[in-house]
Structure 1
Amino acid sequence: MSATVSFKVPTPYGPQSMTVSYARVGTGEPLLLLHGIGHHRQVWDPVTPVLAAEREVIAVDLPGCGRSPALPDGLAHDLPTMSVVLAALCEALELERPHVAGNSLGGLLALDLGRANRARSVTALSPAGFWSPLERQYAFTVLTGMRRTAERMPLPLVEWLSRSAAGRAGLTSTIYARPGRRSPESVVAETVGLARAQGFFETLRSGREVRFTDDVPGIPVTVAWGSKDRLLVPRQGVRAKRIIPRARLVRLPGCGHVPMSDDPALVARVLLDGSR
């Protein structure tokens, strides 16, 4: 069920209230799910039913994405700020060191929560932050192009394209290896959400200097990478393993950058194993 929670976060102008939209289902140990830049929590829908059989699943719309309002004035769209926001969110939802899983930007955020000892385990799917300068520039150029295209496309055209497998591939093949598996409604919602995501370009700008270079000791860490990731290439997973030597590195055969719909059974298993 969709819900919202409001809580206070510190800003240069004093504490300000912010609201986050989320869905919470299932029973068991809590598992917090974080999506990537410009996406929304529904990207986890293909794996949520399996996860909810063993975990209390909390999927959130990050600030400025989906149904969550943007960050309050005075807060930067950067990694330190988002870590503070997510810590406050967990406190508001009474989640004491949940398992955390994330994809892309969400994977970077999950690892940062683990580094700060705010997670009991971390599973990162194609996490940001393990790129070389050229790889980061390539990824940001692709993401900028995706955003500009989404902004310029009239809704009727998006809806028309989404009705065919070829059209869905044209809209989403950069992040999905099997875009035909996405429903027309999902593709429309993702494209519109990307076009409207607040803080998108501020997040990209803040990411120019981001490199994840620290170990995440003391908790189980899983890093999983799709073999057909066209945005953050799979060799970045090898770098992640060098930086976090105790991490379990998992290959996701046939999966793209956002693997949850490419192979829901495999991804759900990886998420459950990572949070045991």
Structure 2
Amino acid sequence: MPTRIAFEFETPGGTSPGSPGGTPRGRHTTSLTYERRGSGAPLLLLHGIGHHWQAWEPVLDILAAERDVIAVDLPGFGASDGLPQGCAYDLTTVTPVLAAFCTAIGVERPHVAGNSLGGLLSLRLGHEKAVRSVTALSPAGFWTESERRYAFGTLRAMRGAALSLPVPLIDRLSRTPAGRTVLTSTIYARPGRRSPEAVVAETHALREATGFHQTLAAGRTVLFRDDVPSLPVTIAWGTRDRLLLRRQGVRAKQAIPGARLVRLPGCGHVPMNDDPALVARVILDGSSTD
């Protein structure tokens, strides 16, 4: 069963790219919801914008056979609280939140794997040496300006559609492969494989994501161009990613020369459901302590 924990975090103040106002320096309180399974080396899982920890459900039990897996709802998404008033949803703020969350649950420098926004946050945690290794699945932040505008426009359209669809229609669409394609084909290459219950739940998560617009606003000028030295880094990209095109993986490799760049054949932007066995193996290899 998911757990909810309240904790304090400290922000350094100032601004980071994409956060015009920034967050004032000081201590703040928030609470996050997370699912924890398994045993072994700790592995933190970070989902993408508009999603929730259940995005990792297809691979959770595979990973939990070898890792102490912690899948968390990011601030303003899923069942987690939004950030306190005055806090920007930028890297400078959310990264300390995640570091403080790990401390609050008794985890020191976990391995981390993230998808999309979660991949960007994972790389930032790696750059700050707050984690042992990084596996980033289609991470944000390696786009050109036109690619960023396309991705953000697509995300806004998805959010608008989720808000406009009547709940009974979402339920009906989820019951057929064609309907699940309508609801989720932007992020999954094989949307028919997603269960009706999961599609309904993640559509509601997108509708109710209180941090959605603030997170997009904070990402307008984000470009990740920092190396992540002295840590194992894996960057994996689905060959059928329709949101962040796979050529962005080449730029990620150029920014982080020591990273292992992996293709995920037949996978979309959120690859965990498209090929759970492959994605789990990539994460386990990336977080190996051997």
What range describes the TM-score normalised by the shorter chain of this pair?
A: over 0.9
Q: Identify the residue that residue 166 of structure 2 maps to in structure 1.
A: 154
**Counterpart in the other structure of 2:242:** 230
Map residues 128-167 of structure 1 onto 2, 5 A cutoff: 128-167=140-179
The letter for the 1-side match of 2:9 is: V
Q: Does 1:2 align with 2:14?
A: no
**Superposed CA RMSD:** 0.9
The one-letter amino acid of 1:5's match is: I
Residue 94 (structure 1) shift = 1.4
Please identify runs of 4+ aligned residues in structure 1 that moved more than 3 A. Answer: 10-14
1:136-215 matches, within 5 Å, as 136-215=148-227
In structure 1, how many angstroms separate the alpha carbons of the residues matched to 2:25 and 2:46?
Answer: 28
Equivalent in the alignment of 2:50? 38
- Which of 117, 136, 144 is residue 129 of structure 2 equivalent to? 117
**Residues in 2 aligned to 1:269 and 1:32: alpha-carbon distance in whole angstroms:** 16
1:81 aligned partner? 93
Distance between the aligned counterparts of 1:13 and 1:177, measured in 2? 42
Following TM superposition, by how much is the alpha carbon of 1:9 offset from its aligned partner in structure 2, in angstroms? Answer: 2.2
Give, in angstroms, the shift of residue 191 of structure 1.
0.6
Counting aligned pairs with the same residue, the percent is 65
Shift of 1:199: 1.6
Using structure 2 for the length normalisation, give the TM-score. 0.94
SS, match of residue 79 in structure 2: coil
Q: CA deviation at 1:59?
A: 0.2
Q: 2:255 aligns with which of 243, 257, 260?
A: 243
Q: Which structure 1 segments of 5+ residues have no match?
A: none
* Gap regions ≥5 residues in structure 2: 12-23
Q: Aligned residue for 1:15?
A: 27
Q: Distance in 1 between matches of 2:242 and 2:35?
A: 29
TM-score by length of 1: 0.98
2:66 to 54, 57, 67: 54
Structure 1 position 14, deviation (Å)? 4.8
2:78 maps to 66
Secondary structure in 2 aligned to 1:250?
A: strand
Matches of 2:251 and 2:61, distance apart in 1: 32
How far is the alpha carbon of 1:15 from its aligned partner?
A: 2.6
Deviation, 1:10, is 3.4
In structure 2, C-alpha distance between the alignment counterparts of 1:272 and 1:72, rounded to whole Å:
34
Aligned length: 276
Q: C-alpha deviations, 1:116-172, integer Å up to 9, x for none? A: 000100000000000000000000000000001111111000000000000000000
The 8 Å contact of residues 241 and 249 in structure 1, kept in 2 or not, is answered as yes
Cα deviation code 1:40-62 (max 9, x no counterpart): 00010100111001000000001
CA distance in 1, matches of 2:190, 2:7: 38
Shift of 1:17: 1.8
CA drift of 1:16 comes to 2.7
